[in-house]
């Protein structure tokens, strides 16, 4: 089942293509958010998201009050950019492996009945949407935030919220991998059951396996 491409992803790929083809050279100012919105036929929020990601990757330089410019080194092509993105997301997954298994274990140990029910409902909804061929990105992203919220640790919850943009970047990449959607949904359900049943070690283990699977895909 192929997940439909998100609007901001189309803009992201479109901007990269124009840079790669030399339409916008290094150091040149790209069109405004509003102009890009009209050019790509999508909302300004999707354009802002794509520009923000490209800014974090060093592809674009966003200068407050002056505009957005193509940064140096982009002319090497998409392979270099993909390698940069993969390296960033590999490190993100390493960080998640440090934090999220413990969050899952804490959620199993400390979450109240309502929080556990919400996590299980979310995992089931994701599987149902996959079976129907529907977009399940909201449930996918929300699952990890629900785990963090149920952990009982406000600092860790806020840490996860702060990296939400990077998590979205990661999901944009992993949803292109064959079979990953179904595997992710299965892991989510296993984690959700472990949390809802208060099995902390099982929750920790399943979250570790889930993230290790992603990590190995990035490495491969």
Domain ranges of the chain: 7-76, 86-219
Q: What is the pTM of this model?
A: 0.65
| pLDDT range class, residue 22, cuts 50, 70, 90 | confident
How much is the mean pLDDT over the chain?
86
Torsions phi, psi for 29 (to 5 deg):
-85, 130
What local confidence, expressed as pLDDT, does residue 102 receive? Answer: 97
Answer for the pair 210, 96: CB distance below 8 angstroms, yes or no: no
Please report the sign of the dihedral spanned by the C-alpha atoms of residue 58, residue 60, residue 63, residue 69.
Answer: positive
Q: Which fold has domain 7-76?
A: Arc Repressor Mutant, subunit A (1.10.10)
Nearest to 47 by CA among 12, 5, 74, 4: 12
Question: pLDDT of 49-67, one tens digit each?
Answer: 888 878 877 788 989 889 9
Answer for the pair 218, 174: CB distance below 8 angstroms, yes or no: no
Question: pLDDT of 166-202, one tens digit each?
Answer: 787 788 778 778 888 899 999 999 999 999 999 999 9
| pLDDT range class, residue 87, cuts 50, 70, 90 | low
Q: Do domains 7-76 and 86-219 have the same CATH topology?
A: no
Q: Between 154-162 and 137-150, two packed helices, what is the crossing angle to 10 degrees?
A: 150
Taking only Cα atoms into account, the Rg of the chain, rounded to an integer number of angstroms, comes to 19
Nearest to 144 by CA among 112, 102, 85: 102
CATH number among 3.40.190.10, 3.40.50.720, 1.20.120.530, 1.10.150.120, domain 86-219: 1.20.120.530
Answer for the pair 207, 215: CB distance below 8 angstroms, yes or no: no
Please return the burial class of 46, using the count of CB atoms within 10 Å of its CB with bins 0-12, 13-18 and 19+. buried
For residue 23, pLDDT over 70 is answered with yes
Q: How far apart are CA 47 and CA 51, in angstroms?
A: 6
């Amino acid at each position: 089942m192929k997940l439909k491409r998100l609007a901001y992803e189309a803009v992201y790929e479109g901007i990269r293509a124009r840079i790669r083809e030399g339409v916008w050279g290094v150091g040149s100012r790209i069109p405004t958010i509003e102009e890009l919105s009209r050019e790509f036929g999508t909302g300004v929020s999707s354009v802002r998201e794509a520009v923000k990601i490209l800014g974090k990757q060093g592809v674009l330089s966003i200068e407050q009050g002056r505009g957005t410019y193509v940064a140096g080194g982009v002319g090497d092509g998409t392979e270099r950019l993909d390698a940069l993105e993969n390296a960033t997301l590999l490190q993100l997954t390493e960080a998640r492996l440090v934090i999220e298994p413990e969050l899952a274990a804490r959620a199993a140990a400390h979450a109240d009945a309502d929080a556990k029910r919400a996590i299980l409902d979310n995992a089931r909804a994701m599987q149902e949407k996959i079976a129907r061929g529907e977009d399940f990105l909201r449930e996918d992203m929300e699952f990890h935030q629900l785990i963090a919220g149920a952990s009982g640790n406000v600092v860790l919850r806020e840490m996860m919220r702060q990296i939400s943009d990077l998590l979205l970047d990661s999901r944009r990449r992993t949803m292109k991998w064959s079979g990953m959607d179904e595997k992710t949904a299965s892991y989510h359900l296993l984690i959700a059951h472990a949390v809802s049943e208060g099995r902390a070690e099982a929750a920790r283990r399943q979250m570790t396996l889930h993230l290790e699977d992603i990590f190995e895909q990035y490495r491969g």
